[in-house]
Amino acid sequence: MRIDETHRVWLVASIVILGAATAVYVIYALAAPHGPSGGSPIGLVFGFTGFGFMIYAGLLGARKKVPIMRLGRAQGWMRGHLWLGLLALPLILFHGGFHFGGLLTSILLWLLIITVLSGVFGAILQHYLPTVILERVPMETIYDEIDRVRDQLRVEAEGFVADLCGGGVPEAEAMALVPEGGIRAGGFTAMRPRGGGGVQYGLTEAEVEPVRSFFQTEMLPFLLEPSAKSSRLGDDTRAVAAFTKLRMLAPAAAHPVIANLENLCEEERQLTRQARLHKMLHTWLLVHIPLSLALLLLSVFHAVIALRY
Amino acid sequence: MPRVRTTKALAQRIDLNYFKRPIPLRRWRFWLCLLIPLGCFLWIGWKLAGRDFQPYSSGPLSAGHVLLTRDCTTCHVPEKNAVFTEHASDQACKNCHDGPIHQLAQAREPECGSCHVEHRGGARLIATSNQSCAQCHANLETKPGSSTKYIKTISSFNTDHPEMAVFRGANPRDPVTIRVNHFVHMKKNLLGPHGSVQLECKDCHRQPASREPWLFGSAEALPVSAPVATPAAGMKADLYAPDPGLALMSMPKFAESCSACHLLQFDKRFSEQVPHDKPDVVHAFVVKKFEAYIAAHPAELREQPEEERRLPNRPAPPAARVVTPAQWVAERTKEAETLLWGKTCRQCHSITITEGAPLPKVADANYTLHWLPHARFDHDAHRGFACASCHPNALTSQDSAELLLPKLATCKDCHAPGPSHVEARCFECHAYHDWSKRKGITPTFVPRALRAQAVDLIPKPAGQ
């Protein structure tokens, strides 16, 4: 979610709440005989308010489970999650008087700090990375389908080379790209394998040999393992140099095929980039969500224990 | 033929059921969301099952209570009529600690925990905040029908603490009757027992527990039978009970500090000195000495007194005469005591000679041990400081009644809030509990480590 002018109300409200809480805390901390304490009336108010904000932030996950229910706009929930979740940290610090206390409270405070920091990190990523993906991955596809699209790119490349050099993509292999029982957009035509027809370019074996050799020794390994750092096709500049050299070795009639192969490599690189950016964009959730669940569970326990003793 | 990337061609690459397939990132998230909270839940359950409440403690215990770290129920006991809460009550504190009342007239008695805050780590519980004291002393109230002589608005040492009580009068004086000229005693090249000396403060002023040898105490000096001055009237007798003998300076004693220079000779016939004691003891000593002497030297009953030794304003004795031993002893005793009461003793003591009274009256030293009856000061904690840094007038004072005590401003030079100053909170000088009113307790707590062997041997209080 981009943090833009639509967040202004939340930002202002958060600043007002934080300012008021800070003012109350300073007065209370100066007046408290032994400094601020979580068990004092004001400390409890800070604690319950911060816990309430944490609960609200945690309810975002529940809200996502029931997207069709009329429980307010998803964007509103997300903004509340961002700003109230962020406010929970200073309020809980005020609650404990910036003391970490015992083992459980220390664990809680560290969980809160990690959860909030990971959330801030995620919010920053969510703010900037979509733009980066838009600019650097124009050939973006659905993340979950990247592996299958890659296989299709390889088959497509083999088809182009077969067209130029003769031979073709085995029909069985082309059909294997369609998942069992899968439905593919485009219906029947999408399931139709391509290649094998052979477009006649009028080139001799010797003339197409550089293209075939390049494909077999460099491009196919790259398409099979695009993240391998040893391949020069994984790097934009070195890939351009490689294809420029190939064009010099191959006759002009083969250049359209080479251009297609170069385009396929470019798409392959973009998919690699997309996968990397996607992981960046979502991996922080592996920290944020489980720890926030643990935080909520332990917070409930802490509240019960603290009120009892 | 150029490569075609139409929307339709791109859409055709996608499996419409792709979202039904499990993907690693989502699978990881699911398992972590399950396992981490489950782990927390199991941890809590495991600790609860083992009756180990220590992880839930709101913070480490103070140094004095660290043994109770795993014994939460020693202090956290169910309160009367409480269904849910188990707060540490005052009674739980008083099971082990005798916390006597502060003042009988105090309007209210705060809870133990309002001043002694636990679960704050290794800090001493006695280190209470200024606000703890100020909750009453900032606007001091007493029980209905009671009054107080104390100042009613004191918030902290560095804001509105009044000057020490001893300085508050119009002309504060030291009531001591011993005459000591500090200026003379601190002079260079003072005549000592073996030549010139330079006295130091510690040659006369030391804590009772000091073990350094006295440089100016004579080995031959007779013991002092006079009792050491008692604490000042009104002082809480037990306030300094834990005092190891290093906190306060003791009264300087003649035998330890003065006797090497100030000789108590009474007659040229004797090298011995009179004891530094009450007049009747001194008188008995002198008479006894003269009686023994004349018994051993009967020829002196006819001896002619020396002209140059005749005291002024006294009638000249007959040129030659014979006296009885008793008469001789009486005359020599009178001469010796005239010297003693009139000069030797009077040099330091206030002596009143009453006409017709056989012996003079020596005023009580009236030495003040505790200048601050409601506060405590520890000289030992300040032992690295030069005495004159706090008592500068001690080097120049010529009047023993001059108060050489430092004023509060001197204390405030070091005792103030802030990182470059030392502790300035109330507890540094004042004690809340009046330990003279302690009642005594019968402790029942058994340390956890000794509980197994001691549980059957320790008598249980009635009702348990």
Are B135 and B101 within one domain? yes
For chains A and B, CB pairs below 8 A equal 149
Q: What pLDDT score does B223 carry?
A: 42
Provide the 3-class DSSP secondary structure of residue B88: strand
Q: How near does any CA of chain B get to the CA of A17, in Å? A: 27
Q: Which band of pLDDT confidence, cut at 50, 70 and 90, is reported for residue A183?
A: low
DSSP state of B407: P
What's the mean per-residue pLDDT of chain A?
Answer: 87
**Is the CB of A301 less than 8 angstroms away from the CB of B12?**
no
User: Domain extents for chain A?
Assistant: 5-138+284-308, 143-282
pLDDT score for B457: 62
CB contact burial B24-34 (16+ within 10 A = b; e otherwise): ebeeebeebbe
CA-to-CA distance for B270 and B24, rounded, in angstroms? Answer: 111
* 3-state SS assignment for residue A235: coil
Entry field: residues in chain A: 309
Q: Give the pair of three-digit tokens for residue B283.
A: 């008188």
Tell me which of B10, B32, B52 is where a domain ends.
B52
For residue A202, the model assigns a pLDDT of 77
Report pLDDT digits (tens) over A53-65: 999 999 998 888 7
Given an 8 Å threshold on Cβ–Cβ distance, is A190 in contact with B12? yes
**Confidence class for position A198, pLDDT limits 50, 70, 90:** very low
Burial of A268 (0-12, 13-18, 19+ CB in 10 A): buried
Residues B424 and B446 in one domain: yes
Q: Which residues of chain B have pLDDT under 50?
A: 219, 221-242, 463-464
B17 with A305: Cβ contact below 8 A: no
Q: Where are the beta strands (DSSP E) in chain A?
A: none
Q: What's chain B's average pLDDT?
A: 85
Nearest CB to B56 within list A99, A104, A285: A104
CB of A280 within 8 Å of a chain B CB? The answer is: no
Residue B305 domain flag: no
Mutate to test the interface with B, among A140, A276, A309 (most CBs of B within 10 A): A309
Q: What residues of A are in contact with residue B19 (Cβ under 8 Å)?
A: 144
Predicted complex ipTM exceeds 0.85: no
Instruction: Kindly tell me the sign of the dihedral angle through the C-alpha atoms of B253, B258, B259, B263.
Output: negative
Best to test chain A binding among B58, B72, B75, B128 (most A CBs inside 10 Å): B58
| Cβ within 8 Å, pair B29-A104 | no
> Does a structural domain hold residue B296?
no
pLDDT in tens, B38-94: 999 899 899 888 888 878 888 888 988 988 888 888 888 887 777 777 888 888 898
Among B8, B12, B35, B120, most A C-beta atoms within 10 A, so best to mutate, is B12
B369, B198 contact by CB (below 8 A) = no
Say yes or no: A297 contacts chain B, CB-CB below 8 A: yes
Smallest Cβ–Cβ distance between B17 and the set A183, A291, A298 belongs to A183
| Nearest-angstrom CA–CA distance, B164 and B154 | 13
Residue B230 has what pLDDT? Answer: 42
Question: What pLDDT does A242 receive?
Answer: 95
Q: Which of A24-28, A198-202, B68-72, B222-226 is predicted most confidently?
A: A24-28
* pLDDT for residue B170: 86
Q: How distant is the alpha carbon of residue B30 from its chain centre?
A: 65
Is A34 part of the contact surface with chain B (CB cutoff 8 Å)?
yes
Give the model's pLDDT for residue B7. 86
Better-scored residue on pLDDT, B316 or A18:
A18
Please indicate whether, in this complex, the C-beta atoms of B58 and A39 are within 8 angstroms of each other.
yes
**Nearest chain B CA: its distance from A267 CA (Å):** 11
List of chain B residues whose C-beta atoms are within 8 Å of the C-beta of residue A141: 10, 13-14
pLDDT at B334: 94
First to last CA, chain B: 99
**Tally of domains in chain B:** 2
Q: What is the pLDDT of residue B242?
A: 39
Task: Pick from B10, B13, B27, B31 the residue to mutate for testing the A interface (most A CBs within 10 Å).
Answer: B13
B chain contacts of residue A260, beta-carbon cutoff 8 Å: 1-3
Burial of residue A295, with CB atoms counted within 10 A of its CB: 0-12 exposed, 13-18 middle, 19 or more buried: buried
Q: Cα(B151)–Cα(B131) distance, rounded to whole angstroms?
A: 17
**H or E stretch at B458:** none
Range of the domain at B41: 22-52
| B189-214 per-position pLDDT tens digit | 898 888 889 999 999 998 888 888 88
10 Å Cβ neighbour count for A12?
10
Domain annotation covers residue B358 = no
Per the structure block, which two tokens stand in for B357?
């009274």
Strand residues in B247-396 grouped as ranges (E): 351-352, 361-362
DSSP 8-state symbol, A182: -
Q: Does A304 touch chain B (CB under 8 A)?
A: no
Distance CA A74, CA A60 (A): 9
Which residues 240-259 of A are in CB contact (within 8 Å) with B? 256, 259
Q: What is the mean pLDDT of residues A79-107?
A: 93
pLDDT for position A200: 60
Q: Which amino acid is at B137?
A: H
Helix or strand run (H / E) with residue B383: none
Q: Is the pLDDT of residue A194 over 70?
A: no
Structure tokens at B275: 């004891």
Cα separation, A268 vs A256, in Å, equals: 18
**Domain identity same for B90 and B116:** yes
**B387 closest CA partner among B375, B401, B399, B405:** B405
CA dihedral A297→A298→A304→A308, nearest 10 degrees, is 170
